A and B are shown apart, each in its own frame.
Chain A
Amino acid sequence: MSLGVVGRAFTDPLTVCLDTYEVLLPEIVVDELEDIASYDDAHGCGAQAVLDQAGGFSVQSVSLDATFPLDDGENAAVTLANDIDAAMLLCDEFNQLGLIHASLANTRLVTTPTLLSVFVRNGQLDTDVAMSSLDAISEARSWDSNQYVDHARSLAT
């Protein structure tokens, strides 16, 4: 949802993400996006922007691992990542990252600010675009006072 907030005004990070990787979403996460998309705010727009690019990702139903003390969406994402031995899991649930990280077998965890700096490093996104994207995402997600996000800015330059 974070990347969807930015919209498609330029070579946007959502498109870069979907073009670069084979993206797989658990069905329950798509359900969550559909719920969020019904709201008329930045989160709603972000979720809708992702759903609008449904051709760019696959959806898979996942049976939840009841032993994970995580919300259904995160639970499904971790379970799916482990099932298919995914290279990366994109997750911005900062308050659950320790647990999510520990639950992943071989998959590397990535958060959106870091993913943006990966795109900059690979020449797929201009620094300016990465910065303005991060500003928009930070505002939508109330990350303004988050020190990780603040430190991540210096990585994308």
Chain B
Amino acid sequence: MNRTDALADVLGEDWTDILLTALREYLQEATHNDALVQEIAAAYYDDEVTFDQVKSLVGAEEAANLRVLKQQLDEGHIEDLAEL
């Protein structure tokens, strides 16, 4: 916390600004982390998070990939495929 105070003085910024910037950078980095993307995917497959939440975390393109994979796990989809 002392370091945050010191950094706020150095940058002439608010404490909140520094924390928000740090959080934003953390989230940006985290969503490019494969292990975390897989955690997000698992939560999505288990219906713990919505597609919109996934999209806001990993971006539209990756979210679209995960949506197709979730569909691959759908019982109804597998039944349909089994009849082809």
Contacts and interface: CB of A to CB of B under 8 A. Distances in A.
Chain A interface, >50% SS class: helix
Given A145-B34, A146-B38, A148-B69, A114 B78 contact: yes
Contacts of B80: 108
A82 interface: no
Interface string B1-35: 00000000000000000000000000000000011
B38 A97 contact: no
Given A96-B65, A114-B78, A88 B84 contact: yes
Interface residues of B, number: 27
Contacts of A100: 68
Interface in A93-107: 94-102
A87 B81 CA distance: 9
Nearest to B43: A147
B64 interface: yes
Contact of B81 (A95, A97, A118, A150): A118
Contacts of A155: 73, 75, 78
B14 to A, nearest CB: 39
Contacts of B77: 114
B81 A148 contact: no
B44 to A, nearest CB: 9
Interface residues of A, number: 31
Nearest to A113: B72
Closest 10 CB pairs of A and B: A98-B64, A97-B68, A148-B69, A147-B42, A114-B72, A147-B41, A98-B65, A101-B68, A97-B65, A87-B84
Interface of B: 34-35, 38-39, 41-42, 45, 61-70, 72-73, 75, 77-82, 84
Given A88-B81, A108-B80, A152-B72, 12 more contacts: A94-B65, A98-B61, A111-B69, A113-B72, A114-B78, A114-B81, A118-B81, A145-B34, A147-B45, A148-B41, A148-B69, A155-B75
